[in-house]
Chains A and B, each alone.
Chain A
Amino acid sequence: MSAYFVLPDFLPALPEIFLLGMALVVLLISIGQKPIHRTLAFYLTQLTLLFVFVLVVGGSRTEAVYTFANMFVRDLFADFLKAMVCFSVMMTLAYSRRYLAERTAIPVGEYCALSLFATLGMMAMISANHFLPLYLGLEILSLSLYALTALNRSNAAASEAAMKYFVLGALASGFLLYGMSLIYGMTGSLNISEIAILVEYWKQNSEVMDSLPLVFGLVFIVAGLGFKMGAVPFHMWLPDVYHGAPTAATLFIAAAPKLAAFAMLARLLLGALFPLLPDWQPMLMLLAVLSMGLGNIVAVAQHNIKRMLAYSAISHMGFVLLALCSGLGTGEDPLTTMQLAYGSALFYLVAYVLATLAIFGLIMMLSRAGFESDRLEDFKGLNQRSPWLAALMMLLMLSLAGIPILVGFFAKFAVLTAVVLVGHYWLAVLAVMFSLIGAFYYLRVVKLMYFDEAPANAPPIEASVPIRILFSVNSLAILLIGIFPQTVTVICTYVADSLLFRIPLF
């Protein structure tokens, strides 16, 4: 080995490398058109994800490990989010199986391969310690998602949604890239850890060096992040994509990428641009309030449950952003408040992802070939058709509405505690008022299921027993974590710590 070239340590990136290899294998298998190929691709994908999950969890270390010339970082934060991503993709695939099998227009093999590539993109984003892998991961994810949306290519709505998603997503990537290049221009580095130090230096010498160009770059980065998270006013793509995409793809878009977007936000704003916190916090606050307001109000007017959930997702992302902008207030010890804020944001995300998986899972369980079951009225009288499924769906809806004793309540509780801790009382009051509006449309679903009569010709629910069990376990987890939230809150705090302690300021 020559002295000029040192082989990087591949071990921290082992899950990603394995995932990439398997994604290529699945892609090869998906060329085959026989049913056996489809089944093989599906199970291989699930096994791959399971194995990646094991690799991520098993190889997890408390200390952060850097590799590839500090471009790649593996810390607890990354491991936790990667494990969550793998888990939610596995759940997504399990719920989607029958849905995809019934719709012959959608190629299952491609769906699996694209899912794996999207997962790879997300994992790259989560572990990025450099703008380049961050952006590459984002693009791998985004391109896979555009393709997933358009997978049912004979469907006009899906094609339109994919087109919209592509154009707006490309615009967002452009924003992000422009912001990154401005930051690069100012600091001369693309490495996140280095940028943090350089920006801090810049801030400390603010009388000599004007930080305005940095803030200019920051604005573009926040706008790009807003797009990817689906925060108002960058939310326009979300309802159309949720609505137009096949439900299997909607579920994919609704769950795991939110985790990745959160990781990206944490890496960029907290990792690189932490010294600019006084600048980006008000921006996030504005995004949070607008998202909660618009998301909850517009969701009331929806007739399609996928569209309603899209607006609901906007409002929930608002709540996550609310937690993020509550770090660092007046008087309190900054580390304590940030711990609480980021821990609660993570907890909120976990609660949201769990509920979202189950809800879309149920929508797909109720659908059949030629029947999407995505209008609100399709849920009429579900209590008469299946009391058990209706009861679980009620738990999910109430969890999203934030009613105790479900996990959604403790998620909101944690976020509001963080907000009140830094003294933003008016923000807390606004947040609960918007939750009240939100409660209305979640309750309407309960109303449809319980108070209304089922249509006379409603066919029996076809879902298989394993999927029913999976759905039950998933939904009961919402209740159980709600009753015993201690463990998950502690894990989330711990994970948030691993992120915060690496900020040079602390």
Chain B
Amino acid sequence: MASYPLLSLAIWIPILTGLLVLATGALCKSWQPRGLALFGALLAFAVTLPLYIGFDVTSAAMQFEEFVPWIQRFNVAYRLGVDGISVWFIILNSLITMLVVLAGWKIERQAAQYHAAFLIMSGLMNGIFSALDGVLFYVFFEASLVPLYLIIGIWGGPNRVYAAIKFFLYTLLGSLLFLVALLYLFIQSGGSFDLLSWRALPLSLTEQSWIFFAFLLSFAVKVPMFPVHTWLPDAHVEAPTGGSVILAAIALKLGAYGFLRFSLPITPDASVAFSGLMIALSLIAVVYIGLVALAQTDMKKLVAYSSIAHMGFVTLGFFLFLEMSVEGALVQMISHGFVSAAMFLCIGVMYDRMHSRQIADYGGVVNTMPKFAVLFMLFSMANAGLPGTSGFVGEFKVILAAMQSNFWIAVAAASTLIFSASYTLWMYKRVIFGAVANERVQALCDISRREFLILTLLALCVLGMGVYPMPFVEVMHVSVQELLAHVALGKL
């Protein structure tokens, strides 16, 4: 099994399929390339499964490593590998891509380009999660902006141009400073872009602080953290359903992943030194953004703000530097991948029928769409962090860890349980329950078999992870331990 370059396959199968879809779509206008797209996504998902099966959970080292020299002039290499932190994200990404292709089955406008954009982006995202070379990571990180920019801009809502450009420029702003930091590390390390060797690179606290803030700007925009989160609600609202799903489930994870792959290992002392700031920003995201979500009248915007609040939990977990908190945060990331994807898909299901995302336009949907209401209920509960769903596991661990470090942090963090329950369930109540609000709701038909399949798959993931989170936790355990030991040791 180890003889196959699984990571390369996970990156290049979707990209090449995407290009093939693009080509066939351009050559024959009548043929719908969605079957091909789905096949590619399935194949890509299939090659990621051996990553989990063959993963050695007792080792913190990089596994499935690949190495090909790329640009010798700058010592850049095509260096891939996964550890316990990244492996689940590749599987999650490939799974979500498959569902997104299914969810976009009925897209008519430039369908080939639509599916191709998602497939190419999926490959690039897998590249981000498996790159072990600074430049390679950066290349994937920035290249993945382009498909998402096009997805929002071409298939998005009325204000899509503004949202797409804002999304692109915001993210680019962060990543350009990240590039300067990478170059600085390249020079300081005597000409190496190897991420693993940067771990051992001695850096003074001043240097670490500068690099930390360059990293922070890049990742904070991507997470997004307060106060650089404003692009996300715009992007979410304007993006088509599939775009929102990828954005929430995968793209937001890139920033958080970056903290674990770059900030903590390379600038451990600065990370500890500025952990107070990070915790404060995370708590603002949890509390303030939670309140903002409560006031939303647009469902997508509400879930978008809820995503920011949940990601605040993730960064909080990272910067508490406890084993339980980091693991909790990672579990929360994966869970949020399932739950937010499901929430956006549910909103997409309603939007496809009603062409409205306003909560006020709905009411009593349960009367006409009972099957849908059940599934939506499950995901809403998971979003609120109900025990038994995946949303609970991560939040509980982070709050528990926060209690160990500081009572008041734990109190503020725990408020999320109230806020997320309030905004999610209140929205659910207004949309689903009550009397049938108008004739258009009366005319709704329940979900099709395709939609049922997508949502049920996600429901199984959400429940499975909530009841038995062991497969997720055991994979990351050793890697997280090793990372935290590295941070505790420091570089000074």
Measured between beta carbons, the chain B residues less than 8 angstroms from A493 are: 73
- Tell me the residues in window 422-447 of chain A with beta carbons closer than 8 Å to chain B beta carbons: 425, 428-429, 432-433, 435-436, 439-440, 443-444, 446-447
- Using known A-B contacts A398-B146, A403-B145, A417-B186, determine if residue A387 contacts B113 with beta carbons closer than 8 Å: yes
Residue B153 contacts which of A432, A435, A450 (CB distance < 8 angstroms)?
A450
Measured between beta carbons, the chain B residues less than 8 angstroms from A413 are: 74, 135, 179, 183
Main secondary structure of the interface of A (DSSP, over half): helix
How many inter-chain contacts with C-beta < 8 Å in the A-B complex? 90
Residue A417 contacts which of B74, B139, B164, B168 (CB distance < 8 angstroms)?
B74
What is the minimal beta-carbon distance from B152 to any residue of chain A, in angstroms? 9
Q: Which residue of B is nearest A386, CB measured?
A: B26
Q: Judge if A201 is at the interface, Cβ distance under 8 Å.
A: no
Q: Which residue of A is nearest B74, CB measured?
A: A417
- Tell me the residues in window 340-355 of chain A with beta carbons closer than 8 Å to chain B beta carbons: none
Q: Which residue of B is nearest A492, CB measured?
A: B73
Q: Judge if B377 is at the interface, Cβ distance under 8 Å.
A: no
Report whether A421 and B187 are in contact in the complex, using a CB–CB cutoff of 8 Å.
Answer: yes
Complex interface: stretch among A237-245, A264-272, A483-491: A483-491
- Measured between alpha carbons, how far is A429 from B184 in the docked complex, in Å? 11
- Tell me the residues in window 151-180 of chain B with beta carbons closer than 8 Å to chain A beta carbons: 153-154, 160-161, 164-165, 168-169, 172-173, 176-177, 179-180
Measured between beta carbons, the chain A residues less than 8 angstroms from B142 are: 403-404, 409
Q: Mark B133-146, 1 if CB is under 8 A from A, else 0.
A: 00100111011011
- Using known A-B contacts A388-B26, A447-B153, A486-B72, determine if residue A417 contacts B172 with beta carbons closer than 8 Å: no
- Measured between alpha carbons, how far is A443 from B150 in the docked complex, in Å? 10
- Greatest chain A CB density within 10 A among B26, B149, B154 is at B149
Report whether B176 and A450 are in contact in the complex, using a CB–CB cutoff of 8 Å.
Answer: no
- Using known A-B contacts A413-B135, A417-B74, A440-B169, determine if residue A451 contacts B176 with beta carbons closer than 8 Å: no
Report whether B183 and A420 are in contact in the complex, using a CB–CB cutoff of 8 Å.
Answer: yes
Q: Judge if A405 is at the interface, Cβ distance under 8 Å.
A: yes
What is the minimal beta-carbon distance from A454 to any residue of chain B, in angstroms? 13
Residue B180 contacts which of A421, A425, A490 (CB distance < 8 angstroms)?
A425
- Measured between alpha carbons, how far is A420 from B181 in the docked complex, in Å? 9
What is the minimal beta-carbon distance from B481 to any residue of chain A, in angstroms? 34
- Using known A-B contacts A388-B26, A404-B139, A405-B139, determine if residue A429 contacts B180 with beta carbons closer than 8 Å: yes
- Using known A-B contacts A404-B143, A420-B180, A451-B154, determine if residue A490 contacts B73 with beta carbons closer than 8 Å: yes
Report whether A432 and B177 are in contact in the complex, using a CB–CB cutoff of 8 Å.
Answer: yes
Measured between beta carbons, the chain B residues less than 8 angstroms from A409 are: 139, 142
Measured between beta carbons, the chain B residues less than 8 angstroms from A432 are: 176-177, 179-180
- Measured between alpha carbons, how far is A436 from B146 in the docked complex, in Å? 15
Report whether A443 and B160 are in contact in the complex, using a CB–CB cutoff of 8 Å.
Answer: no
Measured between beta carbons, the chain A residues less than 8 angstroms from B176 are: 432-433, 435-436
- Measured between alpha carbons, how far is A62 from B367 in the docked complex, in Å? 83
What is the minimal beta-carbon distance from A88 to any residue of chain B, in angstroms? 24
Residue A439 contacts which of B72, B110, B160, B168 (CB distance < 8 angstroms)?
B168
- Measured between alpha carbons, how far is A414 from B169 in the docked complex, in Å? 22
Q: Judge if B71 is at the interface, Cβ distance under 8 Å.
A: yes
Q: Which residue of B is nearest A423, CB measured?
A: B187
Report whether A485 and B71 are in contact in the complex, using a CB–CB cutoff of 8 Å.
Answer: yes
- Tell me the residues in window 469-506 of chain A with beta carbons closer than 8 Å to chain B beta carbons: 485-486, 489-490, 493
Q: 15 interchain pairs (CB within 8 A)?
A: A403-B142, A404-B143, A405-B139, A405-B143, A413-B179, A413-B183, A425-B184, A428-B183, A432-B177, A436-B176, A440-B169, A443-B168, A443-B169, A446-B149, A450-B154
11 more contacts with CB within 8 A, not counting A417-B74, A450-B150, are: A383-B110, A403-B146, A410-B71, A429-B177, A440-B165, A443-B168, A446-B150, A447-B164, A450-B153, A451-B161, A489-B74
Chain B residues at the A interface, C-beta cutoff of 8 Å: 26, 70-74, 110, 113, 135, 138-140, 142-143, 145-146, 149-150, 153-154, 160-161, 164-165, 168-169, 172-173, 176-177, 179-180, 183-184, 186-187
